[in-house]
Structures are given as C-alpha cells and as structure tokens.
Amino acid sequence: MIMYTFFENNADSLSNKTLIPFSTHAGSGLAGFDKKLAEAIPNSTIAKGIAIAGDDAQNNQDSARNSIESWLSELGF
Ligand SMILES: Cc1cc2nc3c(=O)[nH]c(=O)nc-3n(C[C@H](O)[C@H](O)[C@H](O)COP(=O)(O)O)c2cc1C
C-alpha cells in the first residue's frame, strides 16, 4: 500500500517516463502492481517487470542472477 500511495502522490513526476517494475516476493510475484502502476500513471510506458523470490535472492543467487540478466537483456540493457 505504501507504494500505491507513492504512485498516487507522485503521478505528475512519474508521467511521461518509462517505468520498470521489479520486486522481491514470497509467493505473490508482482501481485498485479505493474497493472496498478499503469492505472495510477496513465501517461507512462510500463516495461516488462520482474519478481524474484526473496528466498532465491538470498539462497539461490546464481538462478536469481540469470533471471535478472535475461530480463535486462530482453529490455535491451
Ligand atoms: C509485512 C509483510 C508483508 C508481506 N506480504 C507479502 C505478500 O503479500 N506477498 C508476498 O509474496 N510476499 C510478502 N512478504 C514477503 C516479502 O515480500 C519477502 O520477504 C521479501 O520480498 C524478501 O525480500 P527481503 O529479504 O528484502 O525481505 C511480506 C513481508 C512482510 C514483512
């Protein structure tokens, strides 16, 4: 909820930008927050996001790193 409040309070400064959602999680993935972001900041481009399990970030770092590298490559970075 704190992030949704942040989006709402900063809609003007986040407008006309490309926004790239990412998070860690414990099972919920992005939990639809990429869609909420698109709704909160309609004049923005929402790039494909990624959600990494917090457990993988901590205990399976090679896998997490591979996922992030593939994602960044897909985004053109
Ligand atoms: C108050 C609280 C609520 C959470 N709610 C969720 C949730 O709804 N879905 C989910 O996948 N993970 C949830 N988590 C798990 C955290 O997102 C997860 O531990 C975190 O992404 C791992 O990163 P960290 O090591 O930086 O905490 C919650 C964690 C906390 C502390």
Nearest CA to ligand 1 atom 17: 25
Banded pLDDT at 6 (limits 50, 70, 90): very high
Task: Write out pLDDT tens, residues 10-62.
Answer: 999 999 999 999 999 999 999 998 999 999 999 999 999 999 999 999 999 99
- What does the pLDDT read at residue 13? 95
Give the domain extent around 58. 2-12+20-75
Gap between the Cα atoms of 58 and 23, Å rounded: 14
Please give the distance, rounded to the nearest whole angstrom, from the Cα atom of residue 7 to the centre of ligand 1: 19
What predicted TM-score, i.e. pTM, was given to this entire model?
A: 0.88
Banded pLDDT at 1 (limits 50, 70, 90): confident
Please give the distance, rounded to the nearest whole angstrom, from the Cα atom of residue 8 to the centre of ligand 1: 22
Number of domains, the chain: 1
Quick check: CB of 27 below 6 Å from ligand 1? yes
